Structure 1
């Protein structure tokens, strides 16, 4: 049977203004950059490959992902395998491809500057299941090895430079917790793209300093990702988390890698990718990522793993994971030195994640109790985090039929939101609030009418 000409690919090449030879050259440029010297099937192609694909031959190996990325850069929009006329929905190679991009290249793509086409692709990308694929264990082993040869160029980098990055990371993390991810993320990206990038390409005093700088930069990239996640810039957040994991792997800090994977699992849960979230959460508690962590760190990893289990209907496993997380946190004490992380984990955080797990298990009464414990023990300083917890608590209360109780809780959310919080996640709680109040609007409950009007007014001002 004769092959059917791929008219979709032909049309995209025409739109790009590429001949077959120009398309092959663009493909090879992307392959060189992203594969970093590794030779895979279709790592390099010629004009005849493009002609065959236009003629109806389906490309194999990593070719669909490379060609989609090359066309996306040229056309300044994301091109998917379906649009290009390929049979696969999302090439399994796409997730692998993302992990093969060198983290220093990824840092240079943040913010404005060179390679604008690729930056637009990243910031305009779609959050998808294919992008959540994780690398295999051989990747982790290769990334953690020290470089064969230290750079002879660049500035001299010492422990003071590491502390500078850490201090900045803590400052922006506190801003995010208090004001939301809509404040200052572009400033974080600019610092990563310039100063942090230069540090990572510098000459290190010793290997410990090299590892410490990669870990500090990884945590700053994580903060950028978390801020983007909080501000509902989900594809951007995933790309930042991807870069952060690669930097953490280069540092050899396994628990730090676990924490960033935990954040990716958290985001996947919020986005409804339950199966992928469980896969990522399992990776976060695998091997040294869990074993080398302190009890407090293990509690954070474990409770998000419990949430992912609950979201996937694995209730008994979720309960066991919750109990283990509680045990881990109870084993944390002053005699154990905790790393100076931005994601310090205490009773308030454990209570929040426990409440979310219990909510997903259908135990609304205990979930409300844990949300209250989180609010009580956190303190009002972390206002954005407070608003998100209260938003979830109100939704759980109304699920129990406590309408007026939920209204009282949600009033506190609006109090916080109207006082300068810029957070997509907190804003979504207000959207959810109006949807959940909808069945009660005509029942003459005064608190519902007042709160609904106030929520509508807030949303009209921020949209």
Structure 2
């Protein structure tokens, strides 16, 4: 129940939306904080703050942006603005359509904003459902000058640098060396895209898209979801310039992962299906399996159990038919342990926590030493699944074995999994192994 009011409601627009959303004051505060946290901002509103908003107080710009996004998600209205909440524009940059305009110019601006750590990009920006409305759009072509300025050697260097940065990401998480990736993309790679023509142009744009994809993935792993979303969209558009449908599918598939992790099940399903449509049934079997597995997880999130399990079986068949070495494909480096993780995620969505725990554990155990961040992330998911399935001892032992990895990884996703696990095993803190594991991961 809302608290008894001593001052009259001044903001009737906000009150009306609150009623439409069927939220209490505490609900709204929680969802605003969550919308902000998903993008790296820390807000700590409570129900009393919402009461002040209703009597005429306007929150700071970050709070307005997060409240707008919270209502957009709840009501399914991507066009909702601050004005609909009875508030003035917060003075943040307009969320113009990232699918339009010169893709190279947009990437250059995004990279420079990221390098300068502008609050408008890293803090006030929000992951927004409105930006997903253009996922089917195709690039209109980047501006071209008369003379070529880049060639095969540039492509080779970019791909070599991307591989090195990707190895660092695998070992230490997206929060480590992200600034170096951004600087290389913005200062070394993006300038090469301006005015490049000739036979090397598609390869150059493809190499830039691969690096942009890594920048997006690292930003997501570091908790900067709004920034990651923009990088992913830039990756799709660069892939279109390269004429590479596999690259396009890759970015859309990872956007589906991001949407699913942020709780946007409907959007995750749309993005996963868009990735499959980009492939059109073609492409390497290993990459097809990678996309199909995400479709299975997305269908499970949408409550389509039969479709999810059918797609998992199809994923396994596609993976069995793959005749390339996993390391030969930079995208969709899909192996058996990757499928085990996907099955675990799908079964979690379907409520089979015991089954999910087994598959998560199998995936974790098969990971190579260089995959430290992935092993930590999946291992914590395994521990949480064991706990949900009632196997408290296995949950604690699994987490305890991950403490060294967690200590070395800089990843908001890993930290989020860790917070969720520690909150979930609070009722079992009297168990000696749980207490030991809790101390170990807390110190990590």
- Common topology (TM > 0.5): yes
How far did residue 86 of structure 1 move? 7.8
Question: Which residue number corresponds to residue 201 of structure 1?
Answer: 194
Q: Distance in 2 between matches of 1:79 and 1:408?
A: 40
DSSP-derived class of the 1:267 partner: helix
Count residues in correspondence: 367
Q: Distance in 1 between matches of 2:116 and 2:361?
A: 46
| 1:349 matched to 2:338 | yes
How far did residue 179 of structure 1 move? 0.6
Question: Which residue number corresponds to residue 435 of structure 2?
Answer: 449
Question: Which residue number corresponds to residue 266 of structure 2?
Answer: 275
Change (3 A) 1:457 1:375: closer
Asked whether the equivalents of residues 182 and 422 of structure 1 are also in contact (C-alpha less than 8 Å), the reply is yes
Asked whether the equivalents of residues 110 and 190 of structure 1 are also in contact (C-alpha less than 8 Å), the reply is no
Change (3 A) 1:439 1:131: farther
Question: Which residue number corresponds to residue 173 of structure 1?
Answer: 166
Asked whether the equivalents of residues 293 and 311 of structure 2 are also in contact (C-alpha less than 8 Å), the reply is yes
How far did residue 316 of structure 1 move? 0.5
CA RMSD of superposed structures (Å): 3.0
Question: Which residue number corresponds to residue 17 of structure 2?
Answer: none
Question: Which residue number corresponds to residue 413 of structure 2?
Answer: 425
| Runs (5+) with no aligned partner, structure 1 | 1-5, 9-71, 459-463
Q: Deviations over 1:337-362 (max 9, x none)?
A: 98641541111111111111112112
DSSP-derived class of the 2:134 partner: coil
Question: Which residue number corresponds to residue 218 of structure 1?
Answer: 209
How far did residue 289 of structure 1 move? 1.8
Q: Deviations over 1:246-273 (max 9, x none)?
A: 1111111011101110100001111001
Listed as ranges, the matches of 1:73-84 within 5 Å are 82-84=81-83
Question: Which residue number corresponds to residue 151 of structure 1?
Answer: 145
Asked whether the equivalents of residues 78 and 121 of structure 1 are also in contact (C-alpha less than 8 Å), the reply is no
Question: Which residue number corresponds to residue 35 of structure 2?
Answer: none
| 1:361 matched to 2:350 | yes
TM-score, L = length of structure 2? 0.76
Q: Distance in 2 between matches of 1:394 and 1:175?
A: 25
Asked whether the equivalents of residues 77 and 121 of structure 1 are also in contact (C-alpha less than 8 Å), the reply is no
| 1:304 matched to 2:294 | yes
| Runs (5+) with no aligned partner, structure 2 | 1-10, 14-60, 69-79
Question: Which residue number corresponds to residue 322 of structure 2?
Answer: 332
Question: Which residue number corresponds to residue 122 of structure 1?
Answer: 121
Change (3 A) 1:132 1:150: closer
Q: Distance in 2 between matches of 1:188 and 1:297?
A: 25
Question: Which residue number corresponds to residue 389 of structure 1?
Answer: 378
DSSP-derived class of the 1:98 partner: coil
How far did residue 228 of structure 1 move? 0.9
Question: Which residue number corresponds to residue 255 of structure 1?
Answer: 246
Q: Distance in 2 between matches of 1:356 and 1:210?
A: 39
DSSP-derived class of the 1:272 partner: coil
Question: Which residue number corresponds to residue 292 of structure 1?
Answer: 282
Asked whether the equivalents of residues 351 and 371 of structure 1 are also in contact (C-alpha less than 8 Å), the reply is yes
Change (3 A) 1:325 1:172: same
| 1:242 matched to 2:233 | yes
Q: Distance in 1 between matches of 2:384 and 2:310?
A: 25
Asked whether the equivalents of residues 351 and 374 of structure 1 are also in contact (C-alpha less than 8 Å), the reply is yes
